[in-house]
Structure 1
Amino acid sequence: MNFSGHGASFAEPKGGFQSRIAYAAAPVTADQHAENIPGAPAALDWDATLRFRHHLWSHGFGVAEAMDTAQRGAGLDYAATRELIRRSAAEASGPIVAGVATDQLPAGPATIDEIRKAYAEQLADVQEAGAQPVLMCSRHLAAAARDADDYREVYGELLAQADGPVLLHWLGEAFDPLLAGYWGGDDVVLDIIAAQPAKVDGIKMSLLDASREIAMRAALPAGVRMYTGDDFNYPALIKGDSSGFSHALLGVLAVIAPPAAAALRALDANDIAEYDRIMAGTLPLARHLFAAPTYHYKTGIVFLNWLAGHQDHLTMVGGAQAGRSPRHLLTLMRLADDAGILPDADLAAARAAAWLTTVGLDR
C-alpha cells in the first residue's frame, strides 16, 4: 500500500494557540514484552508513553492524562494510572489535566460513601502530582445513585475539596454503556456548576450530540468553559458561531495533532477558510475512528500512532488491539493518508505491508 507523504507538511511543531484551549486525550503505549493480556495488570512502556506526550505538547496541545483514551476502565488499572499521572505531570512541558474517577474500587456494587472516598483519594493523588483534575463519570455512581440528589451531594463535596478549578467530564453511553442516564438530566449538572462556579473551569461533553452541547454551552454561567468532546462534530463546535464556541478536550486530537494544530493557528489568524479546509480533511477519519461500537476507538488510535511512527508495535494493555477488525483498520489507513497524519510515507508503507500480510489482506 502506498501513501502520499503529504502529512510531512504538518510535521513541524510551531507553538501554541491563542483563541482556543485544546487538550489531546493521550493513549498509552504498552510494554510489548509484558503480559498485557485481558485481566492482567497494565504494564507500560514508559519511555514511549511519555515521548508521545511531548509530541503533543510540542504542537501546542495540552495533555488530558489518564482519560478513557488511555484505557481507563478498559485495561488500565489504578496503580498504573496513578504512576502515569505522576510521571506525566513531572515531565510536563505544557498544560496537563488528569482524570479523577472511582476505578480503584472493585467492579460491582459500591455504596455512596465508598464512592465518595474513592473520588476523594484520586482527587488528592492528581492534585499532589501537580495536574489539574478532571472529575470523570463513575460507573459505580451511575449504578448506586438513587436520584439526582446523590450526584449533587457527591460532586458538591468534591468541588469543595478541590484546591482550585476542575473540569467536569460527561461521557455518553456511546463511549461507555454503563454510564447511560448519568446525572439524571442536563439541569442537574447545571445545578452542580451553579452552586460552586468558581470551582469549575469548564465541562467536557462527549455525547456526540452537537445541538445538545450548544444548548448546554449557552446555559453555562459566565466564566465556565465548554470543552467539546464530540469527535463527530468538533470542527464546527470549535469554530463556533454568533452564539459562541467550544474549547476542546478530544481523543481524536491524539492522532490528528499536526494538522489540527495548523488549523487552530489558522483560526487564531482569522483565516476561517484555511481552518475549514484542514479540519474538513480530518473529519472522515474521525467519524470512522469513532464509529460504533465507539468504545473500541482506542484500538484505532494506537494503530494509527504505530503507522505514524510514535510506537514500535501494536500491543495494547488488556489485549485491546483486537478491538477492531482488519477491514475497519484498512479503511482507517486510507483515511489517515487523506487527513495528512502520516509524516513518513515510507515507514507507513513498510508497516502497512507487514500488517496486511499478518492479517491476510495482502492479496
Structure 2
Amino acid sequence: MANTVKLIHQDGRLYSYTPERQQAIVVPEGPFHSRIAYSAAHVVCDPLASNDPLSDAQIDWEQTMAYRRYLWSLGLSVAEAMDTAQRGMGLNWSTAKELIRRSIAEAKTVGGQVASGVGTDQLTPGPDVTIEDVVHAYREQIEFVEGEGGRVIIMASRALAACAKGPEDYADVYGTILQHVSQPVILHWLGEMFDPALQGYWGSELIDEAMTTCLQIIKENEAKVDGIKISLLDDQREIDMRRRLPGRVKMYTGDDFNYPDLIKGDEEGYSHALLGIFDAIAPAAAAAMHALDQGDLQTYDALLEKTVPLSRHIFQKPTFSYKTGVVFLAFLNGHQSHFRMVGGMEGARSAQHLSDLFVMADEAGLFIDPDLAAQRMKQTMALAGVE
C-alpha cells in the first residue's frame, strides 16, 4: 500500500506498518471552563539560515507562530519560552525575548491566552554569580514580559541552584522578586530529570524538605502566586503538595506520565495543566477538556488514556530529549514543512525511537492525514538508511 512504512524495532529488525484510518478527533468550538490548560509550545529553527544551527540557530518565525495559532484555535492556552521551546537548550534569552514579544502580540490578535517563562538564563552559572545577580536577572526578565503586557511564569534558575547555600537563599530570592510582580504568577518546579542542573532545588535533594520550603515561600507570598507547576513525574508527590497548598493557589500538573488522573482529580481536588505533551496531543487534550466540562468521564478517559503510552515514550530517559518527539509529531502532522530543531536536537532520538513514536501516535488517533504522516515517516527512515 502507498502509505505503508518500513520501520525498525528496538532489536534492529525491520517491519512494515500501515497507519490506521481512524476518525479524526473533533474538538467542540468555544472555550472550556472546568480546567485551565496550558500547552508549553515548541519552536523550530530556520532550515535555510546560513548561521551555525548549534551555536546560533535562527527561529523559523512563520511556522513557530502558526503552531501557536493552532493551539489557540483549539481553546488551549500557550506557555511560552519554556523548556519545551528549548529554553536553556539552544534558545537563549535574547531569542526568547523576541519569541515572547511575538507570541504576546499574536495572542492579542486572536484572543488567545499566553503566559511566558522568565528565568535567569542571561547569567552563566559560576563562582562569581551571587544571589543579588540572580535577583537582578529575574527582575529584568519579569519587567520585560510585563512591559509587553504578558503574564509571568517564574522558571527554576540554574544560577540560583548553583549559588544558593540553603533554603533561606531560595526564600530570599523568591520573596524579593514576588514583591515586584504586578499580578499573580505561576511558579515552576522542574525536576532534575528534565534539567540535571536543577538538582537540589529549593535547597535540598530530599523531596519532602524541598517541598516544605517551596510551600512556605508560597504561603508567605500567597497574594502574588496564582499557582505552581511541578514536573517531578511522581503523581503522589503532586497530590500531596496539592492538598497542602493555600486554598486560592492552583496546582498545575507538569506530570507527562500521569496527567489524565491528576487533571481529573479526586474527592479532595484536582490539578490544572501546564504540559509539554499537550503540544503533541493538542486535539485530544482540548477535546478531553470539553468532555470534562460536560461530566463525560468516559469520553475524557478514552481520549487521554490512548495518549499516555505515547507520552511516556516521548518523555523516556533522557527526559530532557523529549522536545525531539514533540517537534517530530508536529512535522508528521504537517504543522511545519521540516524537522529542523534548535541546537540540532532533531538528532537526539534514534530511528527506533521515532519508529515507535509513529506507531503510538497512530494508535492514539493523532494523525490528521495518515498518508502525509506516512510519507514523512518514509523520508525520515530513508535518512536513516532504510529504503
TM-score for both structures, normalised by structure 1: 0.97
Q: Which residue of structure 1 lines up, in the alignment, with residue 115 of structure 2?
A: 97
Q: Which residue of structure 2 lines up, in the alignment, with residue 4 of structure 1?
A: 20
The CA RMSD measured in Å over matched residues stands at 1.3
Counterpart of 1:309 (choices 334, 339, 342) is: 334
Q: What 5-or-longer segments of structure 2 have no aligned partner? A: 6-17, 204-209
Q: Which residue of structure 2 lines up, in the alignment, with residue 249 of structure 1?
A: 274
Q: Distance in 2 between matches of 1:38 and 1:212?
A: 38
Tell me by how many angstroms 1:361 deviates: 3.1
Give the letter aligned to residue 101 of structure 1: G
**In structure 1, the residue corresponding to 2:64 is in which secondary structure?**
helix
Q: Which residue of structure 2 lines up, in the alignment, with residue 24 of structure 1?
A: 39
Tell me by how many angstroms 1:35 deviates: 4.7
1:115 aligned onto 2:134: yes
Tell me by how many angstroms 1:299 deviates: 0.6
Counterpart of 1:229 (choices 240, 246, 254) is: 254
1:259 aligned onto 2:277: no
Q: Distance in 1 between matches of 2:344 and 2:52?
A: 5
Larger Cα-atom Rg: 2
Q: Distance in 2 between matches of 1:294 and 1:267?
A: 29
Give the letter aligned to residue 105 of structure 2: A
Cα deviation code 1:69-118 (max 9, x no counterpart)? 00000000111100000000001031110001000113434211111111
Contact 2:26 2:287 in 1 (8 A): no
Contact 1:36 1:319 in 2 (8 A): no
Q: How does 1:280-295 map to 2 (within 5 A)?
A: 280-295=305-320
Q: Distance in 1 between matches of 2:384 and 2:352?
A: 10
Tell me the percent identity. 52
Tell me by how many angstroms 1:247 deviates: 0.1
Contact 1:13 1:258 in 2 (8 A): no
Pair 244,192 (structure 1): closer, same or farther in 2 beyond 3 Å: same
Q: Distance in 1 between matches of 2:170 and 2:50?
A: 38
Cα deviation code 1:272-315 (max 9, x no counterpart)? 11111111110000000000000000011111110011111111
Q: What 5-or-longer segments of structure 1 have no aligned partner? A: none
Give the letter aligned to residue 20 of structure 1: R
**In structure 1, the residue corresponding to 2:115 is in which secondary structure?**
strand
TM-score for both structures, normalised by structure 2: 0.91
Pair 19,12 (structure 1): closer, same or farther in 2 beyond 3 Å: closer
Q: How does 1:1-363 map to 2 (within 5 A)?
A: 1=5, 2-6=18-22, 9-10=24-25, 14-35=29-50, 37=52, 39-92=54-107, 93-109=111-127, 110-184=129-203, 185-362=210-387
Q: Distance in 2 between matches of 1:128 and 1:349?
A: 44
Tell me by how many angstroms 1:151 deviates: 0.3
Cα deviation code 1:155-208 (max 9, x no counterpart)? 011110000100000000110011111002111111111111111000000000
**In structure 1, the residue corresponding to 2:228 is in which secondary structure?**
strand
Q: How many residues align structurally?
A: 361
Q: Distance in 2 between matches of 1:60 and 1:280?
A: 20
Contact 1:36 1:317 in 2 (8 A): no
Higher helix content, 1 or 2? 1
Q: Distance in 1 between matches of 2:365 and 2:248?
A: 35
Pair 252,35 (structure 1): closer, same or farther in 2 beyond 3 Å: farther
